[in-house]
């Protein structure tokens, strides 16, 4: 199992270009939420004018996104990256976790952490639409930056996000009938092979027992596929990878049209679904520098 706590280097960092390989190490903290021990990686910066909450998707965790989070710290932000139940170092009963729990946890965490400074939610992959929905339920979010807004309620989106292709339309009703404690590895359901343009990074994501190698209950997947997301009134910036072979930008744009506030689209040049390429990283961090 890859446990990045105590490691001399985060294995995901090596996939970023040298100028973005930050020396900022996370502070590993724990938050008791309901019956779960939630792991939160932090870089506290009391004098920072704004904070960023990093929200991962399925097959990822705070460690996988910490290299990007640390680069934001170098650019003047205070950052926290949470491990949602089922992933990362968070301790929970995996059989009991549902997608609705992710929503409730993030809303409660934002309330708990609120200190009056502006808060940006940075959602990656599935975390993008998750962050947007949470922003519609919290009064303390000022902006959402999302790499993807693909809606699981959209049959075309399900076809792209799962390994079942045209059969994906069948997964929604079948999962609803799945036994409550039946578990499946994310990499056997999701197209992790399309995670990155780098075969090495895709392989790391798929083999990571804190991420793509995690087993999740089928009822969790069902709760995700059946969830109806709302869009917020706060600004939403879609920072979509320009060479994403997993989630076509057109599917995210369909969701973005439902936004109730200002929107912007920035294409990350040369980037795959997991953005690590230049000049797309400059595009990404340039968005945040304009938000500060």
Dihedral, 215, 110, 71, 248 alpha carbons, nearest 10: 60
φ, ψ of residue 66 to 5 degrees: the values are: -60, -35
Secondary structure letter of residue 26 according to DSSP: P
Look up the CATH number of domain 13-153+230-285.
3.40.50.1820
- What's the confidence (pLDDT) of residue 165? 42
DSSP 170: G
Q: What is the per-residue pLDDT for 168?
A: 42
Q: What angle is formed at CA 77 by the lines to CA 16 and CA 85, rounded to 5 degrees?
A: 70
Backbone φ, ψ for residue 185 (5° rounding):
-75, 140
User: Where do the structural domains in the chain lie, given as residue ranges?
Assistant: 13-153+230-285
Query: Given this model, what pLDDT does residue 194 score?
Result: 85
Structure pTM? 0.92
What is the rounded CA–CA span in Å between residue 140 and residue 255? 22
For 192-250, the pLDDT digits (tens) are 888 999 999 999 999 999 999 999 998 998 899 889 999 999 999 999 999 999 899 99
Residues of the chain with pLDDT under 50: 1-2, 163-170, 172, 174
CB crowding 194-218: b at 16 or more within 10 Å, else e:
bbbbeeebbebbbebebbbbbebbb
In this structure, the chain runs to a length of: 292
**Residue in 134, 161, 158 with CA at minimum distance from that of residue 146:** 134
| SS3 call for 65 | helix
Alpha-carbon distance 82 to 64, whole Å? 11
CB 49 within 8 A of CB 63: no
End-to-end Cα, the chain, rounded Å: 37
The pLDDT score that the predictor gives to residue 37 is 98
Q: What pLDDT score does 11 carry?
A: 95
């Amino acid at each position: 199992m890859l446990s990045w706590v105590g490691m001399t280097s985060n294995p995901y960092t090596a996939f970023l270009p040298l100028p973005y390989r930050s020396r900022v190490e996370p502070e590993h903290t724990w938050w008791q939420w309901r019956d779960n021990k939630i792991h939160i990686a932090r870089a506290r910066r009391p004098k920072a004018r704004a904070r960023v909450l990093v929200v991962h998707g399925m097959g990822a965790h705070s460690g996988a996104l910490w290299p990007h989070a640390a680069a934001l710290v170098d650019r003047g932000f205070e950052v926290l990256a949470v491990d949602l139940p089922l992933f990362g170092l968070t301790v929970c009963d995996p059989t009991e976790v549902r997608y609705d729990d992710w929503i409730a946890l993030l809303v409660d965490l934002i309330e708990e952490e609120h200190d009056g400074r502006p808060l940006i939610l940075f959602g990656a992959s599935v975390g993008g639409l998750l962050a947007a929905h949470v922003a519609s339920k919290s009064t303390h979010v000022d902006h959402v930056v999302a790499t993807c807004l693909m809606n699981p309620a959209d049959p075309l989106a399900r076809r792209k996000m799962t390994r079942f292709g045209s059969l994906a339309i069948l997964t929604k009703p079948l999962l609803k009938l799945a036994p409550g404690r039946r578990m499946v590895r994310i990499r056997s359901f999701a197209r992790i092979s399309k995670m990155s343009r780098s075969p090495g990074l895709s392989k790391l994501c798929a083999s990571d027992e804190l991420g793509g190698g995690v087993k999740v209950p089928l009822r969790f997947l069902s709760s995700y596929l059946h969830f109806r997301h709302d869009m917020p009134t706060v600004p939403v910036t879609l920072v979509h990878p320009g060479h994403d072979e997993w989630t076509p930008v057109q599917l995210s744009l369909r969701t973005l049209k439902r936004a109730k506030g200002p929107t912007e689209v920035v294409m990350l040049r040369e980037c795959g679904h997991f953005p690590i390429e230049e000049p797309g990283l400059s595009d990404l961090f340039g968005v945040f520098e304009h938000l500060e």
